[in-house]
Amino acid sequence: MAHCLICNSHTDRRRFGGRFFYCPDCDLHFADRSALPAPGDDAGYGADYYKRGSCLLDWMFRVFTVLEQRRILSVVKGCHRVLDIGCGSGWMAEWLQRHGAEAYGVDTSKAAIALAAGKVDPSHLRCGTLASAKFETGFFDAAVAVHVLEHVEDPVAFATEARRILREDGVLLLRIPNLASWEAKLAGERWYHFDYPFHIAHYSPRAVTRLLQTCGFRNVQISHAVTEYRQTLLYSVLSALGVPLPFWLKVSLLPLQVVFMPLACLLALLGNSGTIEVVARK
């Protein structure tokens, strides 16, 4: 038995080999904390965590990174003070800064903050949780959290704090894996974004909408037309078939992406993308 991380109701429904609980009211899957590995230094988010992507593949998919950055910039357009929650190595904060924003970053990992300090004004960086950073109420025009929410143990506290530090009508932008997507259903625990034990809660559009509305956000908009991680559809299909994905195979499979990327775009148009973007207003 566990309490739902959003509505706090009891649930004893288990999924994914018993490692996750499921709340049908919120459509939320959340990890059984007693089964999670004990956190060590940086809780697994050391410098190696930020080097998990392959440099060659990152470079090849750079076009998607550029599209993703442009999309985020269009959402936070006109926002002066912008916080990158879970800033990691600081690539997003650096990029926002380059486009005229006063960028701030917060991350629980010391290794991440050390990497980000080479890119962003170190006085704008905080090491710790969003709550422990203690930013001033109403300080930010916008906050972005790209692939962060799925790592958060207490999403209600997280979203409540994110709302507190935004000015009235400030913007929150989240990007998260979409557990309701076809690729997630197909691959199950082998889904590219399953990423246990780093991802400890999995959301559908309904779950994240409920979370944000519970915490007082309004105008919650879900977008499936996100540009990042298009390549995961192919990987999720192969994973579902039990094919291991070493680096050399990912590189060898690049020509196949020509087929899978349009399919991923079609799924996004049909409202079934492997990751979703969520934009809400305070």
Query: Of the candidates 10, 13, 17, 25, which one interacts with Zn ion according to CB under 5 A?
Result: 25
Helix axes 232-240, 254-269, angle to 10 degrees: 100
Q: State in angstroms the smallest separation of the CB of 23 from Zn ion.
A: 3
Of 27 and 183, the one with the shorter C-beta distance to Zn ion is 27
Of 33 and 62, the one with the shorter C-beta distance to Zn ion is 33
Instruction: For the beta carbon of residue 55, count every other beta carbon within 10 angstroms.
Output: 8
- Binding segment toward Zn ion, per CB under 5 A, in 1-9, 44-52, 69-77, 252-260: 1-9
- Binding segment toward Zn ion, per CB under 5 A, in 5-13, 44-52, 112-120, 260-268: 5-13
The reply to whether 23 sits near Zn ion by the rule CB under 5 A is yes
The reply to whether 6 sits near Zn ion by the rule CB under 5 A is yes
Of 237 and 278, the one with the shorter C-beta distance to Zn ion is 278
Cα of first residue to Cα of last residue in the chain, in angstroms, is 33
Tokens of 235: 């990987």
The reply to whether 79 sits near Zn ion by the rule CB under 5 A is no
Alpha helices by DSSP H, 117-187: 130-133, 155-164, 182-187
Of 7 and 57, the one with the shorter C-beta distance to Zn ion is 7
Q: Which residues contact 89 (CB under 8 A, 6 or more apart)?
A: 50, 112, 115, 116, 119
Q: State in angstroms the smallest separation of the CB of 13 from Zn ion.
A: 11
Site for Zn ion in 208-267 (CB under 5 A): none
The reply to whether 7 sits near Zn ion by the rule CB under 5 A is yes
Q: Looking at beta carbons, which pairs linking 62-68 to residues 24 or more positions away fall under 8 Å? A: 64/227, 64/228, 64/229, 64/230, 65/228, 67/227, 68/226, 68/227, 68/228
Cα–Cα distance measured from residue 106 to residue 84, given in angstroms and rounded to the nearest whole number: 7
Cα–Cα distance measured from residue 22 to residue 31, given in angstroms and rounded to the nearest whole number: 9
| Residues that contact Zn ion, how many (by CB under 5 A) | 6
Of 6 and 127, the one with the shorter C-beta distance to Zn ion is 6
Q: Could you give phi then psi for residue 281, rounded to 5 degrees?
A: -115, 145
The reply to whether 4 sits near Zn ion by the rule CB under 5 A is yes
Handedness of CA 53, 59, 63, 69 (dihedral sign): positive
Q: State in angstroms the smallest separation of the CB of 149 from Zn ion.
A: 15
Query: Of the candidates 20, 22, 26, 184, which one interacts with Zn ion according to CB under 5 A?
Result: 26
Nearest to 100 by CA among 118, 79, 83, 124: 79
Q: State in angstroms the smallest separation of the CB of 6 from Zn ion.
A: 5
Q: State in angstroms the smallest separation of the CB of 3 from Zn ion.
A: 9
Residues lying near Zn ion in the complex (CB under 5 A): 4, 6-7, 23, 25-26
